[in-house]
Structure 1
Amino acid sequence: MKKQVLIITLNWPAPNFSAAGVRLFQLMDFFRQQDYRITLASTAEKHANGIVLDDSINSVKIRLNHNSFDAFIRGLRPHIVLFDRFTAEEQFGWRVAEHAPQAIRILDTEDLHSLRASRAEAVKTNTTFTINHWLQSDKTKREVASIYRSDLSLIISGHEMRLLRPIIQNHEELLLQLPFMLEPIVQNTIDSWPSFEERDNFMFIGFGGHAPNVDAIIQLKTKIWPLIRNRLPQAKLHIYGANLPQQIHQMHQVKEGFLVEGWAEEVSQVMTKARILLAPLRFGAGIKGKLVDAIQYGLPSVTTMIGAESMHENLDWNGCIEDDPTLFAKTAVELYQNQRKWSKAQQNGIIIINTVYDKFVLNKRLETALKHLESDLHGHRNKNFIGSLLQHQTLQGTKYLSKWIEEKNSKQ
C-alpha cells in the first residue's frame, strides 16, 4: 500500500505567479518520484492561473476553524504532512498532532516570511535593518515557534540557515537546507539559447501583489532607468508581471522606453528575447524566482545584495551585484555592451544551477532526512523538548480559540 503525503496550504499554488508555487510543485514532484499518494488540501479556491493537478494528485477543499478537518485526516492517515508556510502550520498543526500523531510534520518555510517583513518595515520607515530588529518581531517569534513544533523544516537559503542556527536548539535535526530542485543545464539547452547579438533591451518581471517587486519597479522608474537611458537612448525596458497595480501601469512611457507590458504568458519567450534582467530588490528573502528563471534561459542579470543573497553560495554571480542606483545603472550598461562580460556572466549562471540547485543531489538530501525521521520519530521528538512544550501550549491555546470560533460560526 502506498504511503500518503498530505500537503496543506492556505493559497492555491500558482507557479506562473510566484516562486512559492514553483517550490511546491517541485516538492510534489519529489513525492511522486518516491511513489507517495499525494493529497493537496487548500483553504483557497482553485483559480485559472493556479497549478493544474494530474490524476496522481487528489485535491481537497478544507475549512479553517472547523472540525471536518479532524475526521478527514483521521480517515486519510497520512505518513507525512507538509505545511506550506508557517501560517498553515499555525492553523492546522495542532489538529494534525492530535488526530494524526503518527504523521511526520514537515514545514516548508518557502522563505523566512518574518525576515522579509522586517526588511520591508525597515525600508518603509527608512531605518537600518538589524538582526536584533528581526528577532524582536512578533512574526519572527511565531515563525520560529512553528519551526520548533515541526519535525523538520525546509530552509531555502544558506543565509536563513545561518540566522536560525544560533536560536534553534538541535538545529542539525530540525533544519534542512533545501533550495530549489532544478534540472541541470545541459549543452543541448545552452545551444538553443539566442546569442548576445540576437537579444536586445532590458526587462523586469514580478508578480504585482508582491511588495518587493512593486518597490523594485519604482526604483527602476525613478532612479535607475533614466541613467541607463541617458547612456543608451534607444534602449527599452519591458516590465512584465501579473496584477501590477495601477500606479505601475501609469508609469508606461513609450518616449522614455519604459514599457509596462503586464502579464507575460510565456516567461521563456520574454527572457530569451532580452539581453539583461534588472532586479533592484531592496527587501525580500529566500530564492528569487525571476533570477533563477533568468539563469535557466541564459539571461544575465543585474541585482542587489538582497536579490542575490545566498543564491550562488561562493560562486561568481550571473551578472553584477550593486546596491547603489548609480553603480547599478553603470554596470548594467557595461554588461549590456560588453559581449565578453555578458558571455562570462551567462557561463557563471550555468555553474550556479548545476552546483547549487541540482535536483538529483537535493532529492537525495531530502530522501535521507525523511528516512532518518522514519527510523526513530519518537526519539527525534523526545530530543525536541521546546517543540513539545510549544505544541502543548498550542493545543491548550490555539485549539480552544479555534473551537470558540467554530462554535461562534455555527450559531450565525
Structure 2
Amino acid sequence: MKVLLIGKIWPEPKSSAAGSRTLDILRALRAVHWEVHFACAAQKSEFSDDLGSRFEISTHSIELNHSSFDQWVSGLQPDIVLFDRYMTEEQFGWRVAQALPDCLQVIDTSDLHCLRHAREQALKSDSPLNLHNEISLREIAAIYRADLSLMIAEKEMQILSETFNVPNTLIAYWPFALPEPKNGVPPFEERNNFVMIGSFLHEPNWDAVQYCRKEIWPLIRKELPDAKLDVYGSYPPPKARQLDNDKIGFRVLGRADDAQTTLARYRVNLAPLRFGAGLKGKLADSFLSGTPSVASPIAVESMPGNFDWGSSVSTKTEEFAKTAIRIHEDKNAWEHAQACGYAIARNRFSEKEWMPKLPSLLSEAFEERDSRRSHNFVGQMLRHHQHRSTEFMSRWIEAKNSSQP
C-alpha cells in the first residue's frame, strides 16, 4: 500500500504532542512495510524531525494554492492520502479528489478543534459551552467529506455521534500507542519538586501556566516554602519568561531536550488545564517516566477509562493544590499514583495493541471505500457544493500570485 501523509507543519516531536502523534502514524505504517511519503508546504525549522532517515520514507516540499500539487500527486499515485488536521484537508482534499478520485482520504484529527475552541470561549466569556461554532462548521464538514477520520479520544467520538450525528462508519478510534514504561526510573527519595511541561504555542498550556502561577502555586508554597516548580515548553514568548521568579520558586526554563528524561527528575507533574481537547501527551510522558500527574478533569479526559487515576481530579483550586502537596510529600500516595499511571499506559495505550490496528483500519476502509461513499450522502453534497468554495478560493489565490511580478 502506498500512503501520502500531508502535514500542516514538519513534525517536531520534541516540541509538541502533535509531532509525536505524526511519528506514531509513520511508525505504524512502516512496521508493515507500506511505502510512505510525507509532504508539507511549510518551512522546516531547526527542530523538525529527520523523517527520511528515521523511517526510510520519502519527504517532499509542496506548494500551497498551486496547481503543481495536482500534477505531482497524480504522478505519485498514492492509494491513501492522510491529512494531519482538518485544515490540511481543506487545503488539499479537493485537489486529491479531482486528481485521484479512487484514493482513500483520511483525516487524523489530533484533537477535536471545535471542542477545544468552545471550551476556551466558555471559560473566557463565562458562558455555556457552544459546540455549534464557526470551527465546527468547517471541521465537521471535513470529517463528512473524508472517507475516514482517526479519533484520539473516546469523548470526542461521543460528541461527534451525539451532537453532530456523524455516522460511526466515518470515524475510528486510534489513541496513543505507548511503549512499555521505563525500568529503573528514579524512586521517590531521589526526586523532588514540581514540574509543568507543554508547548507555549498551544493556548491551553499557556493558560494553565498563568492559572497555576496566580492561583495554585501560592497555595503550594504556603505549605512547602522551599518547593520549586520548573516550567518547560517549546517556544516560550517573552511574556512567559517574565513569570520566572526564583524567589517564589517559579522557574520558566523553556524547551526540554527530552520530555521523559526531564519529567523523571521530579516528584509531581502539574496539569491544571482549564480547556483543551484530545489526549494529553504530557500525561503520557509522565506515565512512561514514572512521574505522577496531578491534573484537572479536562487534562484527564479519556485517559484512564475504568482505571484508577491514582489521585483526586478536581477543578477546585484548593483541592488541586492539596492533592499536589499530598502526592509530593506522602511516599505511599506517590507510589500508588505512579502504579496507576503504569497500569493505564499498559492496559489502555499499549503499542503492542494499537500499532497493528492502524494499518488494519486503513486497509478495511480502502477496500470498503465505494460502499462507504455511497452511504455518505452528506459527504457527497459537501464535496459537490460547500467544498467548491474552498477550491475557488485556492484557485483565486493561485491566480493572484501568478499575476504578481
TM-score band (shorter)?
Answer: over 0.9
Classify the secondary structure of the residue corresponding to 2:4: strand
Classify the secondary structure of the residue corresponding to 1:194: coil
Does the Cα contact within 8 Å between 2:180 and 2:288 map onto a contact in 1? no
Indicate which of 129, 144, 147 corresponds to 1:148: 144
**1:378 maps to which residue?**
370
Q: How does 1:380-395 map to 2 (within 5 A)?
A: 380-395=372-387
How many Å apart are 1:342 and its aligned residue? 0.7
Q: How does 1:309-348 map to 2 (within 5 A)?
A: 309-348=301-340
Does the Cα contact within 8 Å between 1:302 and 1:322 map onto a contact in 2? no
Does the Cα contact within 8 Å between 1:94 and 1:394 map onto a contact in 2? no
Question: Once structures 1 and 2 are overlaid, which stretch shifts more, 263-272 or 156-165?
Answer: 263-272
Q: How does 1:392-407 map to 2 (within 5 A)?
A: 392-407=384-399
Q: How does 1:11-410 map to 2 (within 5 A)?
A: 11-55=9-53, 56-128=56-128, 130=129, 133-134=130-131, 136-167=132-163, 171-185=167-181, 189-190=182-183, 192-410=184-402
Does the Cα contact within 8 Å between 1:319 and 1:345 map onto a contact in 2? yes
Classify the secondary structure of the residue corresponding to 1:390: helix
User: How far, CA to CA, are the matches of 2:259 and 2:387 in structure 1?
Assistant: 44
Classify the secondary structure of the residue corresponding to 2:312: strand
Indicate which of 1, 5, 8 corresponds to 1:7: 5
Classify the secondary structure of the residue corresponding to 1:315: coil
Mind listing any 5+ residue stretches in structure 2 that lack a counterpart? Answer: none
Does the Cα contact within 8 Å between 2:261 and 2:289 map onto a contact in 1? no
User: How far, CA to CA, are the matches of 2:352 and 2:137 in structure 1?
Assistant: 34
User: How far, CA to CA, are the matches of 2:394 and 2:239 in structure 1?
Assistant: 39
Does the Cα contact within 8 Å between 2:297 and 2:313 map onto a contact in 1? yes
Does the Cα contact within 8 Å between 2:79 and 2:103 map onto a contact in 1? yes
Classify the secondary structure of the residue corresponding to 2:306: coil
User: How far, CA to CA, are the matches of 2:158 and 2:100 in structure 1?
Assistant: 32
Classify the secondary structure of the residue corresponding to 2:354: helix
User: How far, CA to CA, are the matches of 1:214 and 1:360 in structure 2?
Assistant: 34
Deviations 1:302-326 (A, max 9, x none): 1100010111112111543121111
TM-score (norm 1): 0.94
Deviations 1:193-242 (A, max 9, x none): 11101100001111111111111111111111111011011111111112
Does the Cα contact within 8 Å between 2:327 and 2:333 map onto a contact in 1? yes
Opposite residue 107 of structure 1, the aligned amino acid is I
How many Å apart are 1:405 and its aligned residue? 1.7
User: How far, CA to CA, are the matches of 1:290 and 1:376 in structure 2?
Assistant: 36
How many Å apart are 1:370 and its aligned residue? 2.1
User: How far, CA to CA, are the matches of 1:371 and 1:10 in structure 2?
Assistant: 24
Mind listing any 5+ residue stretches in structure 1 that lack a counterpart? Answer: none
Does the Cα contact within 8 Å between 1:298 and 1:349 map onto a contact in 2? yes
Classify the secondary structure of the residue corresponding to 1:203: strand
Does the Cα contact within 8 Å between 1:295 and 1:318 map onto a contact in 2? no
Taking a change above 3 Å as real, the CA distance of residues 320 and 399 of structure 1, as seen in their structure-2 partners, is same
